[in-house]
Structure 1
Amino acid sequence: MTDVRPAVTTDSNPAAEVLDALFHSDQGGHEQVVLCQDRPTGLRAVIAVHSTALGPALGGTRFHAYQEADHPESAALADALRLARGMTYKNALAGLPHGGGKAVIIGDPEKIKTEELLLAYGRCVAALGGRYVTACDVGTYVQDMDVIARSNRWTTGRSPEQGGAGDSSVLTSYGVFQAMLASAEHRWGSPELTGRTVGVAGVGKVGHLLVDQLVEAGARVLVNDVNPAAVARVRAAHPEVTAVPSVDELVADPALDIYAPCALGGVLNDRTVPLLRAAIVCGAANNQLDHPGVEKDLADRGVLYAPDYVVNSGGVIQVADELSGFNFARAKEKAAEIRLTTREIFQRADADGVPPAVAADRIAEQRIAQARGVDRPFA
């Protein structure tokens, strides 16, 4: 039987600092955190519900071993808390009737992922009675969601054969492109990308679809990826695209107008920001800012930064639409609003005299506070 327990700790527990942050810091404010265990299948998971002010919490399930951490369970808990909070802000700015949540299954998916484990995890989600709606994330895929959905009806990101939307990269890339148009318009007075040089770092599922749209729009495109096969696929489709050997060379290219990070997080840091020659940063990668203060460094250098959790929200818009019976045209129309939201963020940033990342947080917090009928959303 699946065991769903509230998170507890003692002073000697390595998770003590994380739980202290949960209850006492500005990064906390989570409504509910549960630890899930099913010993027969080896399931160990954390489900974090940050907010349901706007509706049931929606966010993906990450499957990761956390082998780099001294205490994997503590690292997983910290990750779930951080990611759940981020989903609250993402869903609020996407205009979805959802709060934010996130789940983490602890372990190497290549070694321990089984049908039985996924079904046990689905029962953990079901035990929350609809307060949390799950989807794909790092280490989980459409076929996994199909399995999880067999033991839990609050599952999105399923295959079309199972009534789902399938791969969410299509609308993710579309949303990135819409945000890029808004960014260009704000910086140069026109959304026209013809003749602009755009560097795309990471041309996997989302990045290569973004390249398709950029080429069609008349942009000159530079690409980089750690996987040579991914670069080869892009250049086979678009021989005019230029491959750049390293990210450092990409961001430092003097012709670069827009930098689109579409792979790993933390790419805007104390080393890369001084190298950056682009006037705009707008990409699909999560958690692009390596640490607090980078957003100010970008603003001080005159770089317009489109907040990543707004830019890449097309994916969550797509999976959220499944709950109403997936309709691609309806979901695409909703994803097109990312352009308007990005424009609103830049206008708010200019009016308040703050970086766009700060303005985005303020708009999200205002929407959540209004839903709760309070002055501050997480006071």
Structure 2
Amino acid sequence: MSSKDQSVVSKEALMSTKSGKQIMKQGLFKSKGFKLFNQYKEEAEAEFPKFADRFTDDLLREIKGDASPAATQNEFAKEVGSSEITLRESEIPSIRSKLEDRDTLKDRVLRILNSNFVKMTLPVFNALYDAAAQHSGNADAQMRQDLVDGHIIAIDLSEPMDRIMDKDEDLEYLDDYKLMNPYILRIARKKIAKGGEQVLQEFEDGFKDARLGQYIDTKLKMHPTKITEEQMNQCYKKYRAVMGTAGRNMALADGKLGEIFYLGMARAAESVGCGNEIEDSIKNKFVKVPSWPLYYTLLTDDVKKGFDFTMRKSELYLSDARLALELLPKDFSHTEFLEFLFLTVEHYNQYWYNQLSKANIWSEFSANLPK
């Protein structure tokens, strides 16, 4: 596993969960799933600096070549439905001038790429593309790079947007991110379009759903005690749309295989979403808003039960992801890779749930619940 927080994958951490012990056992006996997973992890780590350079150079080209940066900002604000994440026209010249220095721009790119979402999905997309290409007999190295780069860049767009909205980190760089955002989306679209009209349309539909999920998320922050199950399902569109769509597009939107990839990746992402809500709650010392832990806490009037039910929810999502594996073609080349991947998801969730139990901050959580 590649992660910002390497404590999750330390020997001690792996020994602390049932799935972690299975991961260690597979590593010891060099199972096919472990070897494939490790192969793609090492490839992603080696290629990451080159990807960051490509991303930086494409971004620099877009920023320098834009004759109407104010119009670009306005169009982006209209598309995402918020003017909070864009610059005023008077602010653009100084920020643009600063980011036309490649070293400065590279620093900002590396900051937003320092994300669990990016680090954990890059090897997965490479593996899914290879699996689909092997199944269809249509391998294309340049297409692989364009599609994977495009979807990783699209995923990465959520990092600066979230930091701007939440104002919880990188405060001195938020204006830089505002200028960068429209160009990040433009680059992602150009690369994904190399996969053809259907692949681009899948991305556009997914991006629209992700924005809807984010909109519901924002609305629930304003009325946290009125969360319903349907709203939480809508909110989780941001996970389904991003990872499910990327999975489908790694199969070049191929009907059956693309749908199976969508199911597996969408449900696995939703399962990770539950673990992420537990992790964020521990780090922030309050139950995340909105989240499944908050939803279940409000229903049961018991914070501990709220997290217990969230773990059960994560298991349901992961069970659906594993069900998708049974739909794969017989003798599919990367089945074991995906089985191992889902094992790492299970470990991630269980690890943070165990950390929560150790932290024993239930009274603090209860005191900080929204009124």
TM over 0.5: no
Larger relative contact order (CA 8 Å, sep ≥ 6): 2
Is the strand fraction higher in 1 or 2?
Answer: 1
Q: Give TM-score scaled by structure 1 length.
A: 0.28
Is the helix fraction higher in 1 or 2?
Answer: 2
